[in-house]
A and B are shown apart, each in its own frame.
Chain A
Amino acid sequence: MGAVLGIVIKGFLVQQVTLGLASFCTWVERKGSALIQDRVGANRAGTNLYVGEFLKTDVFLLKPFAFIVRNLLLRPAFAVFRFLGSIGVINTLLNDALKALLKEDFVPAGTNLFLHALGPFMAVFPVFLAFGVIPLAPDVQIFDTVIRFQVAEISTGLLFLLAMGSIAVYGVVIAGWTGNNKFSLLGALRAAAQMISYELAMGVVFATVVLHFGTFDLYRVIEMQGGSIANWGVFFMFPTGFLCFLILFIVGMAETKRGPFDLPESESELVAGYFTEYSGMKFLLFWLGEFAEIALFAIVLATFFFGGWHIPFVEFPAGEWWAALIGHAVFIGKVLFFCVLQITIRWTLPRFRYDQLMNLGWKMLLPLSIVNLIVAAAVKLSL
């Protein structure tokens, strides 16, 4: 019973982290792109909030209470809201979600209602599930129980990640088919081909990584990167580790269908690609899935190559709650860095063409990753 409760609580917390990261990515996409493009970006929602006439009363006895509530509670709260509104947070988190919920859920004629609803669900759900195997902070020991900040403590976490990444393709393909629209179909075809092609290189890169760490367990992987900065995944068996990172970074951007690889939704020729026929919250779910994927991918990079929660040359005592807190902050900091990096790249580069994308995947990245694997294996054997 206690174990189940623990998992439920952990699951809830991890869900919050996931949504938080996805929202952060959405906000950076808005405001960051505005900064890159020399625009102002979202800056209005909530800025008109003033305490004003709130809780003003004529009842003599209530006046002190009203005064306290107004000036000590509401005024600072409103100030915070105004600030968040002026930097576009309220717009992103509240207004957009509310708008999408209230919008008409348009379903095109001649399609299967169930599958049409399943598409966005399938695009989001596996990504959220994948977060279940991510350890977010070092273990904490409370009395005699060791708490691990990982929902599913499975030793094959990496395989689970890969599996969930593959399932997400189904959502896109279903969405493309049920759109009953040629643009959706083309987008879905592109997405399927792109994700399957790039998964090969990703698999080989992960094989190299596993070769080095000797484990599929993400917690162990992070543990092994403590101490010196040379233990970080990106520096292992130089340059194989760095090559792994580079390839995975490119492949990951292709897997998230973003940046220069946003062919499945290339808005110039395919209107909106595979989600052309989606509106309202279903449309937003695709975006949520996409941003969650960005966060997930940033987490993978931080976990395998940048030492997870470790600060180089700094050792914290094991099992302390404050050490876990600092570790978590460091981890999330690294994740946010990679989120922002991906979004910056997305707003800087033009996009590939379909054949160029396939060439890059099959003729460049896959051979490179295989050679990398062989070199790494040879070095590992000779050591």
Chain B
Amino acid sequence: MSEGGELLNIDYGVGGVTTEMRPRQEGDDLHSDTMILNLGPAHPATHGTVRIVAELSGEKILNADVEVGYLHRGFEKMCETVTYNQVMPYADRLNYVSPIINNVGWCLTVEKLLGIEVPKRAQYVRVVMSELSRVCDHLTCLGASAMELGAFTVMLYMMQAREYLWELIEEVTGARLTISYGRVGGLKDDLPADFHEKMKSAFRGIRKHLENCDRLLTRNRIFIDRMCDVAPLTCEQVMQYGITGPLGRASGFDYDVRRDFPYSSYEDFEFEVPLGEKGDNYDRFLVRFQELFQSLRICEQAMEQMPKGDISVEDPRIVLSPKDEVYNSIDGMINHFEMVIFGVKPPKGDVYIPVEGGNGELGFYTVSDGTGRPYKVHVRAPSFIHMGAVREMLIGQTIADVVPTFGMVNMIGGECDR
């Protein structure tokens, strides 16, 4: 381990991290001892199981060590044992706050392997649902960060705003959290008939709540003092660490997968990519807050321009045949059987598709060996990459800044540890 490990007296080989104080050495004066504070993995603030070992001088952090991996589920290995469509529930549990984006990313990956494109309507529905999820994700992140600063009320307002969306999502998909709405070659279901009206009224509610939260936080002096100049990252650092998404954009790294590598018809919509300047926590907050409104805008545009048509490709080797055919024709029956037992069979090859997840570039790298199960899946999980920079962000800050910084990084355990 690096210098950090030695300083913290970490013995990875035998017994993990010792949290004893550094032994007195010759030359130390009376007040030079530092304190090792162990935050997590079971600490109330480390939502998503993570461990931060911090070396403190008073309240200031001299050194920190961030350990991830407590929530490892073996997602990538698990994917090799199931068919392409059966990966969907696993993908839900990556970033469980915005599961539809994960679904869409996985579907796009497999569709690229297959060399197909889903109908326009399916693409638009995917965009709408992805953006709703992104709003959920940002609301959760902002609410949790506000709560960690003691503004518990704001958190509950944001949760209420999120509730509108979850009701919408429940209406469409039948589930609230782990949705599994995506399917290779399309979607599970079409939108309900009155979805547009319901979305409009939900957005009215969300905008009202956001206005309240804006008034409670954005120009609140205590909040600004707590967030400004805390844990800044420069644009260069962001690029070196490979940080993307709102965290990178807060530092001025102008990259958004939706705009730069449009997928699923994102090129049809007008939206702005908010950028920060200083890359501190306040910029991160503002960027996420602005992205909320951009996402709402995209949803509205997509619903206005929603084309008519199918929501799945018409290929019985990729999507399940209609039940009518399955029960009444031999071909349908065989197709159904093939799909359920062997699944979609993409040709040999490998592909990497990035989508803009709630936290940044979420990419799936998949290798197909021509069978119905992926040969290898790798996820480029933004949270995991962002956690690499947390140590650098924390050093020099105070212990009170650990939690809001960690909140703004928005590590989602399921995605980070996979």
Contacts and interface: CB of A to CB of B under 8 A. Distances in A.
Contacts of A155: none
Given A182-B37, A350-B150, A350-B223, A355 B398 contact: yes
A39 interface: yes
A266 B400 contact: yes
B44 interface: yes
Nearest to A348: B153
B153 A347 contact: yes
Nearest to A349: B222
Contact of A271 (B43, B154, B402): B43
Interface residues of B, number: 34
Interface string B126-161: 000000000000000000001111111110110010
Contacts of B226: 350-353, 356
A233 B148 CA distance: 38
Given A350-B226, A353-B398, A353-B401, A266 B44 contact: no
Interface string A252-287: 000000001011001111010000000000000000
A263 B400 contact: yes
A352 B222 contact: yes
Contacts of A93: none
B153 A354 contact: no
A269 B147 CA distance: 11
Interface in B72-131: none
Interface string B199-240: 000000000000000001100101101100000000000000
Given A350-B226, A353-B226, A269 B45 contact: yes
Interface in B393-408: 398-404
A298 interface: no
A263 to B, nearest CB: 7
Contacts of B268: none
A266 B398 contact: no
Interface in A312-368: 347-356
Interface string A177-189: 0000011001000
Contacts of A347: 152-153
A36 interface: yes
Interface in A82-123: none
B59 interface: yes
A351 B150 contact: yes
A37 interface: yes
Q: Kindly name the residue among A260, A348, A349 whose own CB sees the greatest number of chain B CB atoms within 10 A.
A: A349
Contacts of A355: 59, 398
Contact of B400 (A36, A348, A353): A353
Contacts of A36: 153
B385 interface: no
Contact of A38 (B151, B157, B401, B403): B157
B191 interface: no
B157 A349 contact: no
A260 B150 contact: yes
Contacts of B404: 268
A348 B399 contact: no
Contact of A349 (B147, B220, B399, B400): B220
Question: Considering the complex of A and B, which 10 residue pairs feature the smallest CB-CB distances, nearest first?
Answer: A351-B150, A350-B149, A350-B151, A268-B148, A37-B156, A268-B403, A350-B150, A353-B400, A269-B403, A268-B45
Interface of A: 33, 36-39, 182-183, 186, 260, 262-263, 266-269, 271, 347-356
30 contacts: A36-B153, A37-B152, A37-B153, A37-B156, A182-B35, A182-B38, A183-B37, A186-B37, A260-B150, A260-B222, A266-B150, A267-B44, A269-B39, A269-B45, A269-B148, A269-B400, A269-B403, A271-B44, A347-B152, A347-B153, A348-B153, A349-B220, A350-B146, A350-B151, A350-B223, A353-B226, A353-B400, A353-B401, A355-B398, A356-B225
